[in-house]
Each structure stands twice: as structure tokens, then as C-alpha cells.
Chain A
């Protein structure tokens, strides 16, 4: 079987890419291993994430499905008085801010809607599991072997461009040598434990800040926080994130740990859950933070979680993966029409563009934990507008980044200059900034390191 574009993974990244490709007149093949609907975490969107759906003409459908409309995110810190609110905003063509809303979604339902929509717009869906990538003699990726779900037979699907949208499975990066190495991210030592609860107390004060559907974040100690994300009128997704060491030290079952944390993490969280009634299993994801170097190359582009995930605290995951799905479409079209065919990395520009955007998020997240006072100063008074831009996911170069707020954070994080330099040569490109927090891991980031992947470096876990 042959196709111009093969998409591995039919999550929101793959589905968005397929729909934007359809707009360019390209009909891709999507390979998805699971049968939808299926459970998935990652439910709250930013303003820019919502904009992707609006750009796709899906706003009406989102309202029709009654997904909660998020007006902003409320954050409760150490003292209850110390809460702050960041409204969801958009920017018009003159870059004036306007008030907006975005959505929170039950992923089983949302992902199915997206994938069905991609198919109705022309994508072909194949139920199967991508195995080995097909490599051409010049080392470029020319498709994938796919184990078909119905027949259990392996079939080759050849492609001009393969988009890896496999999420945390990081399918291509785990296949050794096609992408650059996969590194640990700065939040790799964290663990997330989450479920869904009913009969909660929601805000309802008649303002945007007290809207019943808002996402709420709570934290007490550094790196120890919780989320409260309404999924419909009754059900709320609630998660706890903390250092793995803290979880292990407690010696509790996952469920006991979760229930105790709902009680103890923050008074504002326990107030919202007077009686704990779970309507979903308790799920766990440890070590979710990583970064793949060289995630674009001859015949392939990795999208969203398939190349980088930092941390979920400000809900940037869906935004990044769907936006990358949007950005990639004209790039793929140009390539199919002959652009950059002879380049060592035909998608180098796209890669740099994406990476620089996510770097903005990493700087924002790190500043939040490392320099809470200056962060709050920015949100409250100094750079309120720029902060709403970052919270809304407007993180890319054409969105007036880096903003003065971000430059100030970089000064604090002592990251000035360094990053620019690191972009200049291929080897140094995108040094994971996690290395700055884990100097003991530096060996794996050296250019000629004998250790190729973090998995190998860590040994059996």
C-alpha cells in the first residue's frame, strides 16, 4: 500500500494533522492501534487550543456536545488568600486581547469525534499497530510496517512523509537511530495519579473567575500540586502530581494515596470534594517528561507528545499537539511539491519553530516553581497581558515571542544566550534544559556519548 502521508496515531495530534492536510488537498492514511472510544488523560485546553478547533470549524459541534466552557484557570498557592486567576483570551488581527472561552473534554468522547471527523474529511483509517519503520537506502523513512488488527498480518505502508503522532509511546524515537536520542525532561521525577469524581462543590459566583467550568490548580509545596477539571455537569477530573520519591515514601496503595491526598493536599481542594465518590479507575503515569532530539528528518516529522512532553500543570499538551498538526500541513504540502527534497533535514525549519515554542513553555513552568514571587509579580501587575498570552498557548515566534516577561524569566533562570547558541549547530541543537537541573545526567547529553537513550542509561526499571 502507498500513500503520500502516513500518520501513526489517531489521537488529537494525528486527527488535527489529517484535517489540516485535507485542507491542503492531501488525504492521509491514519494507523491507530486502539479502538475508539478509549480512555486518555489530558482534558483541559488553552485559548490557542480552542482556536485550533474553531479554525477547523468545530466550535459549533463542541458547544453542541456541551463540553464545559473554561473561562480561565484559578490557581491556589500556599495561602488561601494567595490565589490568582488567568482568564482565557484570544488576540485579534491587530493583536488586541479579547475575552474568550475554551473547552474541557472527556477524551474518550473528544478523541473519537476528532478521528471520525478526520475520516469524514477524507483520511483513511487503518486499525493496526505500527511496528518497524520502512527505511530507504539513504536512511530516510519511507513508511511503516503495520500489524493489522483484524487479520493480525503485517502489511507495509509506504509513504512520502510519515507523521509520528503516537503520543507518549514515542514510536519512532524508540526505534533506534531514526530520530535523535530521547532524553529525560526536567519533570521526569514526577508522578501523576488521577481519577474522576462526582458530587463536588463547583464555583458559581456569576463572574468569569468563579465560573463553574473553570480549571482549578492547587499547590502547597514545590512540585506537589493537584488539578480539578470539570468534564460535564457532574463529573470532575481530579489529579495529584508530586515527586515520585514522596509517593514511594508514603508506602500506600495508589488508591489510598490518592484518597488521602484529596483530603490533605490543599484546603481548597478538599472543600470542593466533601465526600469522595470515584467514577473511574485510579490511573498512574510516572516519568512523563522527556524530549526527543532531531524529531524531524528525511521522510518524517514527530508531532506533539511523540517528541516532547514537559509537564501538565498549565494544560499545554493538546494545544501543542493540535497546533503542530496545523503548522505541519503547509510544510508537508510544500515538500510533496518538491521543496527541500535535497536537504539533509527537509523539515529543519519546522523543527526549530516547534522547539522554540515549547521552550517558552518550559521557561514558564520552571519560573513558576523556581521563582514564584517574580512569577506572581508578572501575573498580577508587571506583565499581565504577556502572561495571558503564555497561558493561552501563544508561544510561537509569530506570536510576538519571546515577550519581555519571558526574557525576564530567562534572566532569572540564567538561560540567556545559551539557547540561541545551542540552535546554531546540529549537534548542540536543543539541549534538553532538564540537564541543567540534573547535572548528574549530563553524560547522556554529550555529543559522542556511548549511551544513546535515557532508557538505556537508566537501565532496567
Chain B
């Protein structure tokens, strides 16, 4: 799975779970999810659980930080590095 595919999968998940009815174009690769409050901390933890089960990875606590989870791009980079 490459970066665009990862982004697409995470985007679909977030749109369905947290932004139902939202125009998909409004959620870009660089939209800030956490620092703008689109996702609260509980939601982010659910995203983490999704990443772990969907991509078969396990995040260490020091990886579950804002910098790694704030945008679709950052999330995709994180998943790629874990799969590498």
C-alpha cells in the first residue's frame, strides 16, 4: 500500500466517523485535525486504533503524538514508516 492509498483509507474513515455529510474536498492532506479541534483526544485514539487494525501496525506511545497525527499527510508518513 502506498501513501495515496493510506491517505484515502484514513480520509474515508474520518469522514464517515466524525464528519458525516461533510464535503470530502474540505478535508485535505494538510487540514489540521487535532490543533483545530476536528478530532478531540478520544477521537484521535479511535483513529489510532483504526490505523493499528487496518494497517496491521502497532504504535508506541511516543509515536502517538500530535505531530504524527495532526494531518492526513503526517498520518500516512507515520504508517509508511511503521510498515517499512
Contact = CB atoms under 8 A, between A and B. Distances in A.
Same complex for A and B? Answer yes
A372 B61 contact: no
Contact of A382 (B40, B60, B65): B60
A376 B62 contact: no
Q: Interface residue tally of chain A, by bracket?
A: 20 to 34
Contacts of B42: 79, 81-82, 376
A371 interface: yes
Interface string B43-75: 011001100100000111111111001000000
A77 B41 CA distance: 9
B interface, over-half SS: helix
Given A79-B42, A81-B42, A373-B66, A381 B49 contact: yes
B64 A374 contact: yes
Q: Interface residue tally of chain B, by bracket?
A: 10 to 19
Contacts of B44: 373
Nearest to A410: B62
Nearest to B63: A374
Contacts of B40: 78-79, 81-82
Candidate in B44, B45, B49, B69 with the most chain A CB atoms within 10 angstroms: B45
Interface in B20-46: 40-42, 44-45
A246 interface: no
Given A374-B64, A408-B62, A411-B62, A381 B41 contact: no
A313 interface: no
A78 B37 CA distance: 12
A21 B70 CA distance: 55
A371 B63 CA distance: 11
Contacts of B62: 371, 374, 408-409, 411-412
11 contacts: A78-B41, A79-B40, A81-B40, A371-B61, A373-B44, A373-B65, A375-B61, A377-B45, A377-B48, A408-B61, A412-B61
Interface of B: 40-42, 44-45, 48-49, 52, 58-66, 69
